[in-house]
Amino acid sequence: MTIAAVIDTISTDTALNIPISHDTIARTAWATIANPGDPRVGGVIARYGAETALTALLDGDDDTAAGRDGTVGQLRSTILPRYSVDRVVDAFRRTVAGGYELLTPSHPWWPVSVADLGSAAPFALWMRGDASILTVPSVAMTGTRFATRHGRHVCVDLASGLLVHGWAIASTAARGIDTAALMTAQAFTGRNLLVLPTGLDTAFPAENGELVDAAATRGVVVSEIPPGSEPSAWRFQRSTQLLAALASKTVIVEAGYESGALSTAATALELGRPCGAVPGRASSAANAGCARLIRDHGASLIATSSDIVYL
């Protein structure tokens, strides 16, 4: 059970007649067995390189520095059972069949902003669409899945103002505020930066499949999850963290006191990125999370798109 088995399979697969580096193969393998953003994996990859660390994991060779690393030993006992040559090869086959671009840190389109996540940075990224969107200024606009009419109206107003000024709108494809942000960008310039908690071949939620496809025509859709992977609670939460790392700024439009969207703001604040929140109506529980961010965590108060531009 070694990385060599994957390399041999790929080299003889006529459907994969493309150059694939050993580092890319190893990073893809890590993405199939580890939770996205696992800092233990990120740490050993940073210390030894993806291929060397994976070889130590699979071979159990304690004669190398990576093999003697206690973290690799811990990983061997917890995530090694998930490893499968077929699963890694299938990820490449789905990547080629879907026409997706597989990015690693050595790729010229790799977004350097994710390096701020440190050992929790992505192992690899899968991409559809216009890679140049990854390099333009963008604002993550996110919030509750249970958006009110007022919240959706505010989101459309803020997003349209940003698009006029040349900003890209970053979001997930979640229901509520994120869908409003996604649809607004589609209606204006199409400058979406969309982050998925699934493989690129699976829309989540399913009813937004056409919106995701449209985002890939003029914008860009990215995921750190290999194609063929299904959503999970952790993957959804992690996608909000990746969203904050990819975007230049983050704005929470509407969110309850315990809304999951607040994790995007928490990541942005931890990374030292500009972060704002719309206060909304004082009597509305739908904005309690935004008020909490402004009051307790130093998020800037956002009322207009100009507030975001100068954030």
Q: Which domains does the chain have, with CATH numbers?
A: 3-98 (no CATH), 129-309 (3.40.50.450)
Looking at residue 294, what is its pLDDT?
A: 93
Looking at residue 68, what is its pLDDT?
A: 77
Averaged pLDDT, groups of 10, the chain, 311 residues long: 73 70 93 94 94 87 71 86 89 93 95 96 96 94 94 96 94 95 90 94 87 92 92 84 97 91 94 93 80 92 95 93
Cis previous bond, 274, omega within 30: no
Looking at residue 26, what is its pLDDT?
A: 94
Looking at residue 235, what is its pLDDT?
A: 84
Instruction: Give 193's contacts (C-beta < 8 A, 6+ positions apart).
Output: 133, 134, 138, 168, 169, 170, 171, 219, 220, 222, 246, 247
Per-residue buried b or exposed e for 85-118, using 16+ beta carbons within 10 Å of the residue's own CB: bebbbebbbbbbeeebbbbbbebeebbebbeebe
Backbone angles phi, psi at 101, to 5 degrees: -100, 130
Looking at residue 5, what is its pLDDT?
A: 77
